[in-house]
Amino acid sequence: MPELLIGQTLTYAADPFDEGPGAARHDSRGGVLIDAGRIVATGPADRLRAAHPDARVQDYGQALISAGFVDAHVHYPQTGIIASWGKRLIDWLNTYTFPEESRFGDPAHAQAMAALCLDLMLAQGTTTLCSFCTIHTESVDALFAAARSRGMRVLAGKTCMDRNAPDGLRDSAQAAYDQSKALLERWHGVDRLGYVITPRFAPTSTPDQLAALGALWSEYPEVPMQTHLSEQREEIAWVAALFPGSRDYLDVYERFGLLGARGLYGHAIHLTDRERSRLREVGAALIHCPTSNAFIGSGLFDMAGLKSEGQRIGLATDIGGGSSFSMLRTMAAAYDIAQLRGHALHPAQLWWLATQGSARALGLDDRIGTLQPGMEADLVVIDLASTPLIAQRAARANDLWEALFPTIMMGDDRAVIATWVNGRKV
């Protein structure tokens, strides 16, 4: 039976970084008709109700109905170590990340953490995520199985490392290629799942491993590739020492066939002019991880400058380096970091980054990220008065953006009334 969701609706006809807030489409009493996992129609609630009298109605009153949040860079194996006392990146990896990831060769542990991570994401209104796993094939199988059972659209891949990592967390160039290929062929395109070729970052892969993964990507150019780029200055200096023949950090990836339009480059804070130009030229996606960048002291992402250049940008929690599963908190952190760079992001831009912008970065904007007929029915319903503090501020609002901004800045999982995945309330 079709379902008709009624409330305030918000979607986008264009990129608000280009068109301003007018790129958004808001209906104060709108509806979203869904059936068989798809959005069938959108528009004024009364019109949809009259046209579809047999639909089962879910009336959310003044709550906001939006496309579900899309988290473009996650480390699900780090769920258990989120909010560990902050150090610099390399210390943090050695102290917390690597010991935790060593546990994921145990299928039971991987399954438990995959289930916990996805349930926490859904509770925060996140319906799609792109995750690093560990070197263990069990970690990939666990996440995809958990996502499949929940009907979620999830992208993920085996993290490949063959140096500068502890015993038990290193594979080899051949193993990285063989295991990644086998996982790709097992999972990519099954239900709503997508495989991502995943070298962790240049320092933990030898030239042979990077070349092997570049060769794999050339065989399967339709799949994404994810890694890290220019997160901290010490990391950049380390890359320069490990790859002395490269012009810069990005050049390492390009030399080994790991630069392309389906590439997802996490952090991308300290980019040279050449790197920025080359990323834009190939149409790669940069993934902004603001809570992580603040928590580990990485630096200030240049959102305004990069968007003005025409870069594709997604938004992400980067848990567990990131300190919250909430895309509301992530939007707030993105606002704070932009302010520190002298630019105020508009609420329309923040919400777009967490939905359609991240879907576009992942190459999924033809399927998710917006409320349009034919799109997959992944939705979040947001209470714009979820706490007394937010409610009193929203009550003074003169327009949607003044009503929404307090929830962006101060909201949490209490603001999430409902999450719909593939046309089903979860």
CATH number of 173's domain:
3.20.20.140
Per-residue pLDDT, averaged over 178-198, amounts to 98
Is the domain of 316 the same as that of 227? yes
Is the domain of 211 the same as that of 348? yes
Is the domain of 242 the same as that of 383? no
* Residue 86 predicted with pLDDT over 70: no
Is the domain of 121 the same as that of 141? yes
Look at the chain and report how many structural domains it folds into: 2
User: Rounded distance, CA 120 to CA 134, Å?
Assistant: 19
Which of 320, 335, 361 finishes a domain?
A: 361
CA 159, chain centre distance (Å): 17
Which of 310, 331, 361 finishes a domain?
A: 361
CA 78, chain centre distance (Å): 15
Is the domain of 262 the same as that of 217? yes
The token pair that represents 235 in the structure block: 């990391």
Please report the pLDDT score of residue 296 as a whole number.
Answer: 85
13-47: per-residue pLDDT in tens? 999 999 999 999 999 999 999 999 999 999 999 99
Is the domain of 41 the same as that of 77? no
The three-class DSSP label of residue 138 is helix
Angle 308-288-190 (CA atoms, 0-180°, nearest 5)?
115
Please report the pLDDT score of residue 205 as a whole number.
Answer: 98
Is the domain of 114 the same as that of 243? yes
β partners of residue 198: 159
Is the domain of 12 the same as that of 131? no
- Using pLDDT thresholds of 50, 70 and 90, give the confidence band for residue 98: confident
- CB contact set of 216 (below 8 Å; sequence gap of 6+): 177, 180, 181, 184, 197
Please report the pLDDT score of residue 60 as a whole number.
Answer: 98
- Using pLDDT thresholds of 50, 70 and 90, give the confidence band for residue 268: very high
* Residue 378 predicted with pLDDT over 70: yes
* Residue 90 predicted with pLDDT over 80: no
Q: Domain holding 378: CATH number? A: 2.30.40.10
Range of the domain at 39: 3-67+369-425
Is the domain of 217 the same as that of 300? yes
Is the domain of 263 the same as that of 343? yes
Which of 313, 331, 361 finishes a domain?
A: 361
